[in-house]
Amino acid sequence: MKIGELAGRSGVTAKTIRFYDEIGLLPPADREQNGYRVYDETALRRLLFVRHAQAAGLTLREIAQVLAIRSEGRAPCVHVTGVLHQHLAQVETRLAELRATREELIELIGFAEGVDPATCPDDMICSILAPRE
């Protein structure tokens, strides 16, 4: 199949396919005499894998590592499990940060609703966002 068909079937743009080809996420495509790339079902399966791995939060570098392990004939399951644990830990940290930010915003909004702009000191940029003790 040509790149346009592969793009349509995989949900990835032709530009992205060329990029993945360039960085080695896809094996080099065969070329027709006119220079057009020709891909097979293996390329489609790999693109779908890359998309699914990205949806799980893996970076292109991490995906390349998984593909490299598989190309060496080894199952990448242990490696993938470790990467997923790392990503989960990062998500948990980010969620904690977001919860703290949410609480800060709720507190600031509560304070802001009681502020009279007419009483804001001239030497203060914004009394709502000014540090409080």
What's the pLDDT at 123? 85
What's the pLDDT at 86? 97
pTM (two decimals): 0.78
Give the span between the Cα atoms of 14 and 47, in whole angstroms.
11
Find the DSSP H helices in the chain: 3-10, 14-23, 41-55, 60-71, 77-113
Name the token pair of 128: 């709502």
Longest dimension (CA), the chain: 77
pLDDT above 70 coverage of the chain, percent: 100
